[in-house]
Structure 1
């Protein structure tokens, strides 16, 4: 796998040989990109019970995508935009190929990913090709439009921008799957059964960290998905 990555990089990246090899050797090391937080199912249940509740269709101003600022802002100031940070973090270890682009040391150009909602294997050899780039998208676990009605409409522009680019709230996902999810919450859309536990815990984590509310139907769907989580083995 490492040799294939090096050969692929030699075709795709016009860098000097030594520099390129150093870059590919370090491409699998995502130490500079913080991992996504996870809650244990029991923690997620407690967090869900503690979330504020709102009406299913609260009376708030009309959703405005521009209120969240442009995508993908480099909020952590590591030189790379959040798309590249997520692609690097979520790639199957040992498969990602990067290049240095301006201030970004890990501009991702190829690799393999597993869609977190359906388990589809996604392999790309040139993410500078628009068709390939559209086939893997960066998804807001809690969609911006859903966050808006859950409390973000009252935030400052800066807080909305930070939420829209919050690394732990983002995942690399299959393009068509992301499109089918759209702005729906768990009451309207669910991933495959095998991925519902992870989806619910991440959704709840985002809402807890950003103090976003849930409605009754949403909370019921989340509780149902938490029921799919494995039962801990007795000590």
Structure 2
């Protein structure tokens, strides 16, 4: 579920990104946030390690940073997500005023940025259970601000999602393909593990791709 994050010093962002790169984890926000082709997703899914989820011991939202970080353009992560994922987006400086967004969880069309949450597609709690507990704080902050990992969705659908992987949560069927390809992309990018039930649900959702 999305947090109420605000901009913080650019130095924190640069430190997080530099640390992430130094540890050979993927670069973060600002990269291509488009989903891979379904065939690529099938290959990525096959590469993921199947393992039991770890415990939640030590987890808190603060382990992923409390606020959105400032990106290279001077705006915070929320603004960059709105600009990247919307169509006909209008803004004044770092304030997005209008646009058109399709909510990944319920397929709803949204025209006001005020009606959108910026959510972590792979919830922070889910990442903790599947690998992030072993990361440094800087790596977790970078993950929490990665445009590949963030989606603009309706507040209502975000509230109902929770922190479960498929099949514990699955979006409306019309969004199965996009949801699965994005989920797999993030899990593969960060080398997070999946359960057998998760693998099977993702395979089912990829069947909706044409």
Give the TM bin, normalised by the shorter chain: 0.7 to 0.9
- Describe how 1:1-235 pairs up with structure 2 within 5 A: 34-55=31-52, 57-74=53-70, 76-92=71-87, 94=88, 96-100=89-93, 106-124=94-112, 133=114, 135-230=115-210
Q: Deviations over 1:23-67 (max 9, x none)?
A: xxxxxxxxxx64413211111111111111221x42352421100
How far apart, in 1, do the equivalents of 2:139 and 2:73 lie?
19
- Structure 1 residue ranges without an equivalent (≥5): 1-32, 101-105, 128-132, 231-235
How far apart, in 1, do the equivalents of 2:120 and 2:54 lie?
21
Higher gyration radius (CA)? 1
Higher RCO structure, 1 or 2 (CA under 8 Å, sep 6+) = 2
Deviation above 4 Å: which 4+ runs of structure 1? none
**Equivalent position of 1:7 in the other structure:** none
Q: Secondary structure at the match of 1:168?
A: coil
- Kindly report the root-mean-square deviation, in angstroms, between the aligned alpha carbons of the 2 structures: 1.5
TM-score by length of 2: 0.81
Equivalent pair of 1:71/1:165 in contact (CA under 8 Å)? no
**Equivalent position of 1:233 in the other structure:** none
Offset of residue 111 of structure 1? 2.5
- Structure 2 residue ranges without an equivalent (≥5): 1-29
Q: How many residues were matched structurally?
A: 181
Equivalent pair of 1:71/1:164 in contact (CA under 8 Å)? no
